[in-house]
Amino acid sequence: MTTTPGEPGPALPGRPPVVDLATWQAARDELLVREKAHTREGDAIAAARRRLPMVELDGTVEVVGPDGPVPFLELFQGRDELVVYQHMWYDGAPHQGQCEGCTTTAWHLKDAVYLNARGVSFAVLTTGRWDEVAAYVEFMGYTQPWYSVRDVEAPVGGAMGYLTSFLRDGDRVFLTYSTTGRGNERVSGALGLLDMTPYGRGEAWEDKPGGWPEGDNACWYWRTDADGNATWGPTSRPVPQWTRPGATPVETLGRQGHHH
């Protein structure tokens, strides 16, 4: 039996049901009501976020960048607002042994022109030693400013793995917001696009119909081998690093004692 485009046909295994365009549009419109409510609630949350109180911190605390130690205040680059990503670090690990979750976030933050256009600067902070950090930044091809905040107290230093916002008033610096948990996802455009696909992110925790691909543990696509197979083995590395063939000898693959 053949089915012409636009004609309802039998269900395909592990795939959405096949319907005509009008039926699809009706279902799509029904979902749109929920999507609009979700958008409005997101706007309301953002409004509440703007009304959070803030905490003053010492803007003269020094962080280390390509030009040596500089006061944190310099990261604002003369602008009034600053967003940073606080990137986890494994001391002494090879490039492919660094945090794959942080790699995912940082990779999606390679360009800050639209932030800059709204008077917001951007930087990546990490607790690694600057010599290791500088080599990693060069390897990854990052062009945004990175700084080591080793031995610097929170909220500039301390725990990593978060997006954090700061506000400047002259020489005074204030902490205004920081993400927790899955709050980093908002900057990873790939996740948003995957959420629009039938199979989603391919993660086991997702709610999906029976017969769909089961998926794997959360974030399996962060790390693969050279053939693109999801794995945490000694031949794997964060996904973007495979765009840099030959940059690191194969025998150095793996986390060298660090575990996920």
| Three-state DSSP state, 77 | coil
Domains of the chain: 51-184 (3.40.30.10)
Looking up tokens 């004692």 gives: 257
Beta strands in the chain (DSSP E): 55-57, 62-65, 68-71, 81-87, 120-126, 146-148, 162-169, 172-178, 223-224, 237-238
Give every residue of the chain whose pLDDT is below 70, as ranges. 1-9, 218-219, 245-260
* pLDDT tens digits, one per residue of 178-187: 999 899 999 9
Length of the chain: 260
How many percent of the chain have pLDDT more than 70? Answer: 89
**CA quadruple 138, 143, 148, 154: dihedral sign:** negative
What backbone phi and psi angles, to 5 degrees, belong to 34? -70, -40
pLDDT of residue 1: 47
Per-residue burial over 157-183, b = 16 or more CB atoms within 10 Å of its CB, e = otherwise: beebbbbbbbbbeeeebebbbbbeeee
| CA angle, 164 then 161 then 227, to 5° | 130
| Three-state DSSP state, 33 | helix
What backbone phi and psi angles, to 5 degrees, belong to 78? 85, -10
- Pair type for strands 120-126 and 146-148: parallel
Looking up tokens 């693969």 gives: 224
Q: Which two tokens stand for residue 224?
A: 């693969």
- Report the predicted TM-score, pTM, of the whole model to 2 decimal places: 0.88
pLDDT of residue 259: 41
pLDDT of residue 249: 46
pLDDT of residue 9: 65
Looking up tokens 């309802």 gives: 8
